[in-house]
Amino acid sequence: MELTISRAEILALLPAAILFFTGLMQLFLDLGKSSANTRSEKTHLAMIGVTGILLALASLFIQGVEPSSGALYAGAMTDDLFGRMGAGVIIITALFCSLMAGGYLASSGNNRAEFHSLICFSGGAMVLLCQATNLISIFVAIETLSLAVYVLAGYFKNHQASSEGAFKYFVLGAFSSGFLLLGMAFVYGASGGSISLADIAASATHDDTLFAVGTFLMVIGFGFKVGAVPFHSWVPDVYQGAPVLSVGWMAVAVKSASFFALFRFVLFTGGGQILAQILAAIAVVTMLLGNLAALNQLSLKRMLAYSGIAHTGYLLIPLVLAVSGSGAIAGASIPFYLISYAVTTLAAFGVIVAISVATDRDDVQDLNGLARTRPLLALGFTVALLSLAGVPLTSGFIGKLMIFSDAIEGGFLHLALIGIVASLISIYYYLRPVVAMWFKEPSTSFDLIPASWGVQFTVAVCAIATVALGLFPDWLVNLSKLSVHAILG
């Protein structure tokens, strides 16, 4: 058999390949220097990381904005707009995480190459996951990124909570991978032995029990990664224990990549009304539980963990629509919402990184009077929280508006109503930090180390992007629609 690799195939692999290579470079260059800890000694790590990530980002644009969507590598992956949007979210998130990593790690005495390179490795795997179009490549990508993220979660190996969180994550993750794999096996069987999504879509019938159960088990596997109820129990513990930056990375990149892959899968295969109903139930429970459990959280990280669960719930609504066959309606909201969620959450985590560097804690009380000591950080955090709550003029509002109006259009009025009620509840806990920052007296022990410029840059850019997307969402909405319609053909 003759193996030829086309130009398109090389280009498709380029972003992931650059990321993997960057990670390797960082590891090699840090050999023998792992004991050094200050920021200046490790600047090269961040420099390499940022350069590599920027190159990866640039490589997304090589073919212009209308990449081919044909099957590459014998149907293992594709290089369409949808995949590139996913890759874009992940690479930009990686960029901000790398920018913040140096200062954060140095302050906790753990500034080693592993963290930087694990971001790049898992980032590469996520890019592949967004592009994957057969069961094998999906599984390989998801396992590669999971392994890297397990390590990231337990990166502070001397912290008990960090190690405990990582262990829980690993055990439960292995458990869920089992479901994913079993689901894939069922789907493989039900579709008569095909692994490519296109072939599965062609041969699958929704009435087939084997196929329905298989699809559902696969959804469970992904549902674990994105923290859907009842597969969410790891989220709060891991978020609280793991290093803040790893949490930010997990909250944004892992969730985005999983949703991009899951959505591509259900767009291809569908699933039928029954599966849609069950997913709708999961969405309802996830939205409600996420928001209700967040109400009484005083730890910022835990609060954001539950808020992340709630946002998973909102994101499941377009998924339900896609499963029920209304993917064309729901399409645009997924890429848009994930991009909006990415910039918003990054802004929020930027501030939490600054707080935890300064105080090593993450209570809402630690924010008291932040507006007086560091008004710009407080402003950025406020914008992020308002966007998470879905207040108009922010991207979060547009995202929710799209999801809820799509739900109504697709015939799932009750999902939209519950989503709106859940959003209302969420305003309560999103406003608590805002009140603390702007209306409380600074606590006397509050002594914030000046946030590193990486953090400031991240918060500023992401907050501005949040507002900008809230004011001028048109171009991104259109791009999102274009990407989904390209998949549906």
Partner 1 sequence: MDTNLLWIVLLPFLGFLINGLLGRKLGHKTVSVIACLLPVLSFVVSYAAWSRLVDGANALHWNGFPWIWLEGTLEVPFALHFDGLAAVMCLVITGVGSVIHLYSIGYMKGDPGYHRYFSYLNLFTAFMLLLVLADNLLLMFIGWEGVGLCSYLLIGFWYEDDANCAAGKKAFIVNRIGDLAFLIGMFVCLQHFGSLDISMLTSAEEITRVSAETLTFPWGAASVVTTIAVLLFIGATGKSAQIPLFVWLPDAMAGPTPVSALIHAATMVTSGVYLCCRLMPLFEASPAAMGLIAAVGACTALLAAFIAFTQNDIKKVLAYSTISQLGYMFFAVGMGAFSAALFHLVTHAFFKALLFLGSGSVIHAMHHEQDMRKMGGLRNRLPFTHITFLIGTLAIAGVPPLAGFFSKDEILFAGFQQGFLNAVGSAQLFWLISFLTAGMTAFYMIRCVAMTFWGESHVEESLERNVHEPGGWIGFALFVLAIASALGGFLNVPEFLGGHASLGHFTGLHHSTSDLSVDQLRSLHVSEWQSMLLSVLIAGSGLMLGIHCYGKGRDLRTSFNDSSAGKALGRLSASKFYVDEIYDRIFVRPFETLSHLLFILIDRIIIDGILVNGLALLTRSTGNVFRRIQTGYIPGYLLTFGCGVLVLIFILLNFLREGGAQ
Q: Which residue has 């969180």 as its token pair?
A: 165
Q: Which residue has 């439960």 as its token pair?
A: 172
- Alpha-carbon gap, residue 319 to 460, rounded angstroms: 32
> Of 401, 378, 238, 354, which Cα lies nearest the Cα of 304?
238
Which of residues 182 and 467 has its CB atom nearest to partner 1 in the complex?
182
Q: Which residues bind partner 1 (CB under 8 A)?
A: 167-168, 171-172, 175-176, 179, 207, 209, 212-213, 216-217, 220, 224, 229-231, 233-234, 236-237, 274-275, 277-278, 282, 289, 292-297, 425
Which of residues 274 and 482 has its CB atom nearest to partner 1 in the complex?
274
Which of residues 250 and 275 has its CB atom nearest to partner 1 in the complex?
275
- Alpha-carbon gap, residue 118 to 468, rounded angstroms: 31
Which of residues 87 and 279 has its CB atom nearest to partner 1 in the complex?
279
50 contact partners, CB below 8 Å, separation of at least 6: 95, 98, 99
In the complex, the smallest distance separating the C-beta of residue 169 from partner 1, rounded to whole angstroms, is: 10
477 contact partners, CB below 8 Å, separation of at least 6: 332, 336, 398, 402
Which of residues 230 and 411 has its CB atom nearest to partner 1 in the complex?
230
In the complex, the smallest distance separating the C-beta of residue 324 from partner 1, rounded to whole angstroms, is: 14
Q: How many CB atoms neighbour CB 171 within 10 A?
A: 12
The pairing of beta strand 71-72 with beta strand 77-78: antiparallel
CB–CB of 216/228 below 8 Å?
no
- Tokens at residue 225, please? 């990664």
Q: Which secondary-structure segment (H or E) carries 78?
A: strand 77-78
In the complex, the smallest distance separating the C-beta of residue 288 from partner 1, rounded to whole angstroms, is: 8
Bridge partner list, 363? 299
In the complex, the smallest distance separating the C-beta of residue 120 from partner 1, rounded to whole angstroms, is: 30
In the complex, the smallest distance separating the C-beta of residue 484 from partner 1, rounded to whole angstroms, is: 26
Which of residues 183 and 350 has its CB atom nearest to partner 1 in the complex?
183
In the complex, the smallest distance separating the C-beta of residue 139 from partner 1, rounded to whole angstroms, is: 19
